[in-house]
Structure 1
Amino acid sequence: MGVLLVPGMALAQADFPTKPIEMTILFGGSAQTVGQVLSDEMSRASAQPIVAVSRPGGGGAVGYSYAQATAADGYNIVWNSNSISTVYYQGNLPFNYEAFTPIAQIGVEVPVVAVQSSRGWDNLEEMVAAAREQGQPLRVGVSGLGSFTHIASAALFDKFDLDVIYVPYGEGRAPAELLSGRIDVAVQWQSQFQSHLRSGDLLLLCSTGAQPLEHGDVPTCHDAGAEGLDITMWRGLVAPEGTPPEVVSYLEDLARTATESGSFADIAVNLGFTPAFLPADEFGELIATDDAIIGQLMTDLGLNNR
């Protein structure tokens, strides 16, 4: 395998890496797909392959616990997300984001609000009005109680003071749960709905981030009536705390090269993932800022167990 050196790699090249690097993947679905593509692209520029290893479970707790217990030498990294905060505040991890050294943000993924087209709700305001008139709680499907999609859902629906029941479902089950009528609304990643959007069976009412999605005519929930809502999932790479700076720099450069490659961008965007590279220092600031926000949100929702 040929090696493409990128700026900043020379210092670490002499003694790192001398063996394959494992990238722990915490979740399935689009997160796993994008993580696998990322590891492949990083491998093209690395002296050793980056091997994606799936370690799901516990909302990310299984993978985080595994990686945190490994040596801080750069040979075990994590394809992480805001889940480091949600799983910590749920009480499922004995450590928080400070147990890891930031490498780079790779991009962002924004939850969307999906409904059955047959419900006749063409926008968020119509759904809210119907929920108020029906005289029973709105059934909102989320990945799991205390998950990022649960937090995003609660932040959205609390703005309208609606009576809501949150219904957890298995991974990848959002479209089936909607189409079966078990839930009224699903808040989930856009990639899960693509085929049903093309068929016209499902409709996206809005996205929870501050900026509109790059593809598709979907308003932000803020513009659709949920003023001030801005809930976005970042994804990036971290290593166990104490990883040497020169090793972090090497990995950061690999991540930059991969993120800026056309092949990565093409696949990522098709999955509803937006490449958005941030270097280690800026990524670390973002993680800390978002951790405080998530902690407060979970406290407000009665989900903070710390």
Structure 2
Amino acid sequence: MKNYTTMLAGVALCAAAGVAQAQSDFPQHPIEMTILFGGSAQTVGQVLAEEMSKLSSQPVVAVSRPGGGGAVGYSYAQATEANGYNIVWNSNSISTVYYQGNLPFDYKAFTPIARVGVEVPVVAVRSNSGWNTLEALAAGAKQRGTPLRVGVSGLGSFTHLVSAALFNQLGVPVVYVPYGEGRAPAELLAGRVDVAIQWPSQFQSHVRNGTLTLVCSTGIEKIEAEGAVPTCAEAGAKGMNITMWRGLVAPAGTPPEVVEKLEETAKQAVESAAFKKTVVNLGFTPAYLPAQEFGELIAKDDAVISDLMSKLGMNNR
């Protein structure tokens, strides 16, 4: 019996040593990065994966898993083994999709790795609409007698949340029109929607051509974009400050040593000249935060989003 117990203890020690060795040698094979959305989110995610691959002994492969406002990709990754080989290019969507009732788990199902940067939504209209300011837009919408048609990525999406917060504050009657990924400019130019709230990168070429106008941006700080774009707070929506962050997370329980390696690789990638040059042209602002600070931000924003969605009647939890 003693020999058997000693043998079991030896097996356990060997197994533990094997796990520790695997963690110290991480990564030993390619890492999958789940991309939740198309458009600029997908482009920036792919650029990040490429830069991280240059810095790692194994490639980081971006895999598109869209659908359900992020629910498809989050569900896939959450069900994988917590070993660092499946990570998610995530965003505030982890909270919006949870409070919609489309996920059975919240942000705590994932371990934060690093915030990579931020994107600030902008309010766009056709340049010939006569609504070149937020004030003119609100006044014109109230006078027309029919609800303003506002285009969003999807009902219950982050852009829907931002739109509802803005137009509810302005007292403008609206109807929300969902469209496919990257369709905002086309829907605006075709006249199927009156206003679209999306990422600056989608509108830049049309702003340069003079066909679309950016009325304001929803963050508290001004963004770099074509033309002088005021913040919505400056333009009349007092206190408006809603910004999308994007970063990397792994399934909860991923070993700290593995998270630390991924965090350092992400940091070097975000701070590289190649990454910065590419993504800034897409309207994305690199803004690295380490794992702990990123986790604190996620928790803070989750509470804010829960409260805002409850006030707007969009919280199904």
Please state which band the TM-score falls in when normalised by the shorter chain: over 0.9
The count of aligned residue pairs is 296
Q: Which moved more, 1:167-176 or 1:272-281?
A: 167-176
Secondary structure of 1:171's match?
A: coil
Report the equivalent of 1:161: 171
Q: Tell me how far 1:181 sits from its aligned partner.
A: 1.0
Paired residues of 1:45 and 1:254 also in contact (CA < 8 A):
yes
Cα distance in 2, alignment partners of residues 13 and 136 from structure 1 = 60
Cα distance in 2, alignment partners of residues 176 and 149 from structure 1 = 17
Provide the TM-score with structure 1 as the length reference: 0.95
2:275 corresponds, among 261, 264, 285, to 264
1:88 corresponds, among 98, 110, 124, to 98
Report the equivalent of 1:300: 311
Q: Tell me how far 1:215 sits from its aligned partner.
A: 3.4
Which amino acid in the other structure matches residue 293 of structure 2?
A: E
Secondary structure of 2:203's match?
A: helix
Aligned residues: CA RMSD = 1.2
1:233-274 deviations in whole A, cap 9, x for unaligned? 000000000001110000000000000011101111111100
1:165-187 deviations in whole A, cap 9, x for unaligned? 11111111111111111111001
Establish whether residue 74 from structure 1 lines up as the match of residue 71 from structure 2: no
Q: Tell me how far 1:14 sits from its aligned partner.
A: 4.0
Cα distance in 1, alignment partners of residues 219 and 265 from structure 2 = 28
Which residues of structure 1 form unaligned runs of 5+? 1-10
Secondary structure of 1:162's match?
A: coil
Which amino acid in the other structure matches residue 129 of structure 2?
A: R
Report the equivalent of 1:143: 153
Which amino acid in the other structure matches residue 219 of structure 2?
A: G
1:286 corresponds, among 281, 292, 297, to 297
Q: Tell me how far 1:13 sits from its aligned partner.
A: 7.7
After superposition, where does 1:170-249 map in structure 2 within 5 Å? 170-216=180-226, 217-249=228-260
Which amino acid in the other structure matches residue 97 of structure 2?
A: V
Q: Tell me how far 1:214 sits from its aligned partner.
A: 2.6
Identity %: 72
Which residues of structure 2 form unaligned runs of 5+? 1-20
Which amino acid in the other structure matches residue 35 of structure 1?
A: G
Cα distance in 2, alignment partners of residues 87 and 45 from structure 1 = 32
The structure-2 alpha-carbon separation of the partners of 1:12 and 1:233, relative to structure 1 and needing over 3 Å to count, comes to: farther
The structure-2 alpha-carbon separation of the partners of 1:54 and 1:236, relative to structure 1 and needing over 3 Å to count, comes to: same
Larger Rg: 2
Report the equivalent of 1:62: 72
Cα distance in 2, alignment partners of residues 181 and 208 from structure 1 = 23
Q: Tell me how far 1:296 sits from its aligned partner.
A: 1.1
Which amino acid in the other structure matches residue 93 of structure 2?
A: S
Runs of 4+ aligned residues of structure 1 deviating over 6 Å after TM superposition are none
The structure-2 alpha-carbon separation of the partners of 1:281 and 1:107, relative to structure 1 and needing over 3 Å to count, comes to: same
